[in-house]
Amino acid sequence: MLSSTLQNTKKLQQVCRQLHSAALKVAVSPQYEESVTNTFASFITDIRPEHLSDIVRHRSKRMILDNIGVGLVGTTTHVFNIILQYCQDLHSSGYGNTAVSSVYGRKDLMLSPTLAAYVNGVAVSLL
């Protein structure tokens, strides 16, 4: 009985060691998996202004200005103020402790990049 238990324990140890070895190989050299997100991110980071036509650059500038304008108007709404207060409370409670990002329409207010992106995104989507 004891012999049988020892043999089973040794087999279990061998299986665990094999699994551990296999897991280490994957962890040390993970296989890169190309995904739609990776492809899109690579495209965006590799593109340069000279790759774009004059009309695309012009329209892009107009869209960016439109986004900023709509965002600034969005900061005048009641919903924006509720979201802003919520994010300020989150920030003061320790979430996103690095206040390095600007908030639309608030000259002296900085939040963490995540919170500022959320607040600014809400402002843009309110109109």
12 vs 78, which has greater pLDDT?
Answer: 78
Residues in the chain: 127
pLDDT, tens digit, 9 for 90 and up, residues 19-34: 555 555 555 554 556 7
| Cβ–Cβ < 8 Å for 100, 84 | no
One-letter amino acid at 11 equals: K
Report pLDDT for 10. 67
Please tell me the predicted confidence (pLDDT) of residue 42.
85
- DSSP state at residue 77: S
User: Per-residue confidence at 43, pLDDT binned at 50, 70, 90?
Assistant: confident
Contacts of 76 (CB under 8 A, 6+ apart): 105
Rounded Cα distance between 75 and 105, Å, is 6
